Structure 1
Amino acid sequence: MTRNPTPLSPYYRSLTRNMVLLVMVISFTPMLLVTGIILDHFSSSHHEKVFAHLEELVLKHKQNIDSFLEEKVQNIRFLADSIDFGRVGQADAIAEHLNRLQSVYGTVFVDLGVINEQGQQIAYAGPFNLDNARYADADWFKKAIDSDYFTSDVFLGLRGSPHFIIAVRKTWQGQKWIIRATIDFLSFNRIVEKVRIGETGFAYILNRDGQFQTKPIFDFTPTLDIYSRYFANLERMGKEVEIQERLDGAGVKSLYVSALLKGGDWLLVYKQASDDAFSDLHTAQKVAIVLLLLGGVAIVAMAVWMSTKMVRRIATSDKEKEIMNEQVIETGKLASVGELAAGIAHEINNPVAIMVEEAGWLQDLVEDGAYKSDADIQEFERALNQIRTQGKRCKEITHKLLSFARKTDSRIEDFEIGHLIEELISLSAQRAKYSNVEMITRIEPKLPAISASHSELQQVFLNLINNALDAMDRTGGTLEISAKHEQGQIAIEVKDNGPGIPRANLARIFDPFFTTKPVGSGTGLGLSICYGIIHKMGGDISVKSTVDVGTTFEIRIPVKSDDTVDDDTVSSSDTCN
């Protein structure tokens, strides 16, 4: 059958809580610090890794796109060198060149045309009806006619679908000619669409007016002022790739990686939500938090188990200590009774001697036959009364001694301390008489009651009285005991004019086993017991002494109040030994 553990007192419950908190603080502090430092370093390292990967990705695609555009320009420049402008207007002349381009490069080149310097397209090959189209007012033509080669922005133009052109200028017979080729928008767009990472990562291209040059996967409206700053930052700092983290138009924190294309006319932008980009980091952080919580639960459980176990051991030890203290107090009390024996023996000896003398006188009267006259009978009655009186006196003395010796119950009770002091003075009066010590009492009448152990206070005052009588045993003197009520306390003084205590010994006077008496005359436990008893009941004991002047012990005990704490809630650790 399992025994239920005894419930702990409020003091031990408080001690358990404090120990649990201390263990938790000691355990959690380094764990949280180490975890925080590791996560911070891991976060920084992961951010650097992600940034480096995205920069490398965007830089690689920047180079691919620039290479694609440069390659197409070179294709048209090479083609322009092989065109015979004298027969360019002949049927199928341009178609042959377009077929040659498409046979090598596929459908990247949609159509091909030759335009004179007046903007008139004099030759065309392709799927659209653009023969004799006029481009004199087109922005791209105005820029192309003034450049050796030119790549336009994406626009709708006459065909009504997004496309961009590559134009090369050639001079023949004093006139400027433009050879233009249309690049398939879908083929170009697929190059940018390949820049995908995670669920939200995608790329797009903008021109300086904030217009899309590719079709983004997700629909949104670019903010011109923000992308204008990207252009400016890349040009000012001379960087190939720039990465920023900011909120997008929907309020989602995102990464933006940008790079300039087409000689700075276009901006390649890669966008990805930060949560998506750092998903591995967030997963690692969640795992770390879960492990931290599991470790925390284990620490709390271990702290509670260990603290409860240790406190129960402490409580058991304190209980054993308390029992030992009670045994020491009782032993000291019996020793004090032994010290009273000499005085008690003298006090009992006197009435016993009178009783023996009176009994002998009665025996003489009986032997002489003198018991018939009235005078003899009166003498018998006087002797018997004397024997009875002295017997009662012996009975009172032994009753006081036995009453003192048998009071071993240390339960807390309410009583007035003045009666206790007077009782102890009467017990010690005979010893004081034989030690030539005058005992003076100054006890204030009607002192407030105190809550304390009657027998333990007996032990305290008897020890102090016996110590004073021992100190004045050879020289005699005066022992003054006073008690009065001061500021919610009972102040008791035991003052003698004996030889005093040297200053060097005052600091150790309450230490266990410290004594100034000759070897075999004292245990050194008396004052230590007194100190422990007084402090256990919430009081205080102090000593003042001057050599050849005397010693004064002062005791202060709190008076009983309505909110006095029960004895079982007083910590045994408050008892000093």
Structure 2
Amino acid sequence: MTGGESSFLNAVWPRFQQNGEDHLSLYRTFQDYRQIWGMGIFILISTALVPLVVITLIYYQLIQRSIDTESLLRTERVASNARRAVTFFLEERLAALTFTVNEMGYDRLTDPGRLREVLQNLKLGFGGLTDMSVIADSGTQVAYAGPFNLEGKDYSDQPWFKDCLKNDACVSEIFSGYRDVPHIVVAVKSTRPDGHVFVVRATLETERLIQTLSSYKTGEHADIFLVNHQGVLQTPSTFYKSDSNRMTIAVPPFAERTRSMMKTDSSGQQIVVGYAYIATKIVPTSFILMVVKKKAGMMKVWLDLRRQINWFLFLSALVLVVVITLTSSFMVNKIFQADSEKAKTMAMAEQNCQLASIGQLAAGVAHEINNPLALINETAGYVKDLFTLKKDYKDDPELLENIDSIIEAVERCGTITRQLLGFARRFDVQNQTIKLKDMVTDVINFHKKEAEYRDIAIHVDIPDTLPLIETDRGKLQQIILNLVNNAFQAIDNGCFLDIQARADGAEHVRLSIRDNGCGISETNLKKIFEPFFTTKKEGQGTGLGLSITYGLVQKLHGNITVDSQIGQGTTFVVTLPINAEKETLA
């Protein structure tokens, strides 16, 4: 059982027992209320939360797809831009080297002074070059300009030299070679006047290329580097540092243009991979440009936002559950109270019917017993008179004592029947001659202290010449008291109450009670005399006062009307017959 249900049961069950289980069972059992309470909470929570959760999940899926698509596009764009930068870097230096070979020729390039001059000019024009050399077709270096002592070195077994002889130009992988420093070789092949070929080689610094790649790195969650076709790292990698110097993801398949895809690396993390195979206009290369981004890092902002949305959704759901539980408890409690009041009202109606039946029975029994009691009483009195007159019985005290006992018993039975008749007459009108002005004065006296305290002016205009009324004192007093009480509750401090009475023809008297209180709306005016209808705040009225007053007026064969306007006041007019007994006979 939930906390909300427990609180509801604790609040309702004591009153359920106090208000009478037998009568309330005519409408709903306690189990019915618990089922209504539970079903109400279930339906309201389902109606409120299910669409919210479904919409949130759909929103998450749409956002996830959108982010995945955007991540692929962004990664592919970064890889494409970096590919163009690397390709341009290599093409620019290959073109410069080709132009130099075509312009200078073999004889000028083999001049050490001229070669150093060319190297210096290339450094100034393009940068990133370390040294330059001329190599014969046999692989022997015949001229060298640079900081290393490489004169006479043989490169005939170097892969880059063989590729250059085969393809007229080449771009090597990054390797250390004789100088034991990572570098890239760009070389072009040309022909001497005697028909023999030679190769002009230039060495590129890797730092310049690494800096170019680093400029495209988009954050700590991203890595950009070069690998060869076997997956061997050519430039440093942030994510793939290992003794084997290989990246731990598979080499992507060949594609002529830049591609991107989502994968899972060896550690189980989702990554976004963008790659491009590097090829210059002059010659292809063995480089593959790799852009790797960790998906968790890319989605950090979205994950933080989703976490906040989840917290907001959880708190909203919690508030909805609490509000729905409290609202359902309040509504079911109100239904229970209404049914309880209805049950009590039915019980009271049943009791009143029983009392009325008892009253009628008592009246019948009293009338039936009174007749033989009267006969017994007269006979006993007559016998006593006879015994008193005759000397035979006059001096017999025991006989006279028995006669007195009979008379005393008859009187006692008479008293009982009179009490039964008094009980029965409580349900009937008991007419008395009443001076209306005195009765109004008596009622007003009950409110004098309150009127003085609240500065309420009470004006009574009832002429002494007004005819006396033949009616039930108690009922008329209750009518006036109810109307005056109602007026005092409707008016504010400093207002007034006007009571007037006038003769209404020869047979009726009209009593008017007017106040300048808040007034009654036209809608409520039609229901003013309905039982349990009230415009007062909860706990300040039962809604029975005016309905009881209406019933009492009808009981006295009178009529009551009301006229009211919002903000101006209310006037009740009670018209009563001067002689209620004649009205009854009529």
- The counterpart of 1:191, out of the listed 212, 232, 245, is 212
Distance 2:421 2:131 in 1: 133
Structure 2 partner of 1:170: 190
Deviation of 1:179 (Å): 1.4
Specify the code of the residue in structure 2 equivalent to 1:99: Q
RMSD: 4.3
| Partner amino acid, structure 2, of 1:240 | T
8 Å CA contact retained: 1:259, 1:269 = yes
1:253 is aligned with what amino acid? Q
Task: Provide the residue aligned with 2:10 in structure 1.
Answer: 10
Contact 1:351–1:390 (8 Å) recurs in 2: no
Q: 1:137: which partner in 2?
A: 157
TM-score normalised by structure 1 residue count: 0.57
Measured in 1, the distance between the counterparts of 2:149 and 2:82 equals 35
- 1:132/1:398 CA distance change after superposition, 3 Å: farther
- 1:354–1:390 Cα contact (<8 Å) kept: no
CA–CA separation in structure 2 for the residues paired with 1:347 and 1:379: 31
Give 1:537's aligned residue.
none
Which amino acid in 1 is paired with 2:103? S
Question: 1:43 matched to which residue of 2?
Answer: 64
What CA distance in whole angstroms lies between the structure 1 residues aligned with 2:52 and 2:421?
66
Cα distance between partner residues in 2 of 1:211 and 1:195: 21
Distance 1:217 1:226 in 2: 12
Aligned: 1:206 with 2:237: no
Question: Structure 1: how far apart are the matches of 2:263 and 2:409?
Answer: 111
How many angstroms apart in 2 are the aligned matches of 1:40 and 1:403? 81
Mapped to 2, the partners of 1:185 and 1:10 lie a distance apart of: 81
Q: 2: distance between equivalents of 1:261 and 1:402?
A: 120
SS of the equivalent of 1:265 reads strand
Please give the secondary structure, in 2, of the residue aligned with 1:174: coil
The aligned residue for residue 486 of structure 1 is: none
- Distance change >3 Å, CA 370–CA 269, structure 1 → 2: farther
Name the CA shift for 1:130/1:300 in 2 (closer, same or farther; >3 Å): same
User: In structure 2, do the counterparts of structure 1 residues 228 and 40 end up closer, same or farther at CA, with 3 Å as the change threshold?
Assistant: closer
For residues 29 and 193 of structure 1, what CA distance do their matches in structure 2 show?
49
Q: Which amino acid aligns with 1:171?
A: T
1:72-87 to 2 correspondences below 5 Å: 72-87=93-108
Hey, what's the Cα distance between the residues in 2 that align with 1:318 and 1:70?
Answer: 93
Q: Select the residue among 216, 241, 255 that pairs with 2:259.
A: 241
2-side partners of 1:320 and 1:306: how far apart? 21
Structure 1 distance, partners of 2:369, 2:111, is 166
2:386 matched to 1:365?
no
Deviations along 1:552-572, one digit per CA (max 9) or x if unpaired, are xxxxxxxxxxxxxxxxxxxxx
**Which of residues 286, 292, 298 is equivalent to 2:307?**
286
Cα gap change, 1:264/1:141 in structure 2, threshold over 3 Å: closer, same or farther?
closer
Percent identical among aligned pairs is 20
Letter in 2 for 1:152: S
Structure 1: stretches of 5+ with no match in the other structure:
1-6, 405-577
Please give the residue correspondences for 1:136-535 in structure 2 after superposition, counting only pairs within 5 Å.
136-172=156-192, 173-217=194-238, 220-221=241-242, 227-230=249-252, 232=253, 234-235=254-255, 239-249=257-267, 251-262=268-279, 263=284, 265-296=286-317, 298-299=319-320, 302-303=323-324, 306=327, 310=331, 313-314=334-335, 317-318=338-339, 320-338=341-359, 341=360, 352-368=370-386, 369=389, 372=392
Q: Aligned-pair distance for 1:201?
A: 1.5
Name whichever of 261-270 and 154-163 sits farther off: 261-270
Cα distance change, pair 95–322 in 1 and its aligned pair in 2 (3 A): same
Does the 8 Å contact 1:255/1:271 carry over to 2? Answer: yes
Deviation at 1:279, TM superposition (A): 2.1
Contact 2:170/2:285, CA 8 A, preserved across alignment: no
Following the alignment from structure 1 to structure 2, what is the Cα–Cα distance between the partners of residues 402 and 47? 94
- 2:463 is matched with none
Report if the CA contact (8 A) 1:195-1:202 is conserved.
no
Q: Which residue of 1 aligns with 2:435?
A: none
Is it true that 1:122 corresponds to 2:142 in the alignment? yes
Contact 2:79-2:258 at 8 Å conserved across structures? no
Please state how far the C-alpha of 1:186 moved relative to its aligned partner. 1.0
Q: Given the alignment of the two structures, is residue 59 of structure 1 paired with residue 70 of structure 2, yes or no?
A: no
Letter in 2 for 1:214: T
Distance 1:142 1:216, change over 3 A: same
Residues 229, 246 of structure 1: alpha-carbon distance in 2 compared, 3 angstrom cutoff: same
Cα deviation digits, residues 342-396 of structure 1 (max 9, x gap) = 5x6666666554444444443443444568369x999999999999999999999
CA-to-aligned-CA distance 1:454-486 (integer Å, 9 cap, x gap): xxxxxxxxxxxxxxxxxxxxxxxxxxxxxxxxx
Judged with a 3 Å threshold, the aligned counterparts in structure 2 of structure 1 residues 361 and 215 are, in CA distance, closer, same or farther, namely closer
**8 A contact 2:240–2:246 mirrored in 1:** no
Return closer, same or farther for 1:399/1:92 CA change in 2, 3 Å cut-off.
same
- C-alpha contact 2:216 2:224 (8 A) present in aligned 1: yes
Instruction: State the one-letter code of the partner of 2:349.
Output: V
Judging changes above 3 Å, is the alpha-carbon distance between structure 1 residues 363 and 348 closer, same or farther for their aligned structure 2 residues? same
Post-superposition Cα deviations, 1:419-461, rounded to whole Å, max 9, x if no partner, equal xxxxxxxxxxxxxxxxxxxxxxxxxxxxxxxxxxxxxxxxxxx
Deviation at 1:159, TM superposition (A): 0.8
SS of 2:219 mapped into structure 1? coil
How far apart are the structure 2 equivalents of 1:48 and 1:278?
12
Secondary structure of 1:83's counterpart equals helix
Output the CA distance in 2 between the equivalents of 1:218 and 1:199: 10
Counterpart amino acid of 2:149?
N
Q: How many residues align?
A: 391
Q: Conserved in 1, the CA contact under 8 Å of 2:381 and 2:407?
A: no
SS in 2 for 1:146: helix
Where 1:153 maps in the other structure, the secondary structure is coil
Per-residue deviation at 1:103? Answer: 2.3
Task: Output the CA distance in 2 between the equivalents of 1:370 and 1:259.
Answer: 153
Please report how far the alpha carbon of residue 183 of structure 1 lies from its aligned counterpart in structure 2 after TM superposition: 1.0
Distance in 2 of aligned mates of 1:257 and 1:178? 35
Q: For 2:236, give the aligned amino acid.
A: K
Letter in 1 for 2:148: F
1:513 aligned residue: none
Structure 2: any 5+ residue segments left out of the alignment?
A: 1-6, 14-33, 425-586
Judged with a 3 Å threshold, the aligned counterparts in structure 2 of structure 1 residues 246 and 403 are, in CA distance, closer, same or farther, namely: farther
Q: 1:346 to 1:189 in 2, by over 3 A?
A: closer
- Distance in 2 between residues matched to 1:382 and 1:189, nearest whole Å: 142
In the alignment, structure 1 residue 99 sits paired with structure 2 residue 120: yes
2:351 is paired with a residue whose SS is helix
Give the Cα–Cα distance (whole angstroms) in 2 for the partners of residues 224 and 395 of structure 1.
Answer: 123
One-letter amino acid of the counterpart of residue 161, structure 2: F
Describe the superposition over 1:311-334 as per-residue Cα deviations: whole angstroms up to 9, x where unpaired: 665565455444433322322222
SS across alignment from 1:85:
helix
Between the aligned partners of 2:245 and 2:420, the Cα distance in structure 1 is 106
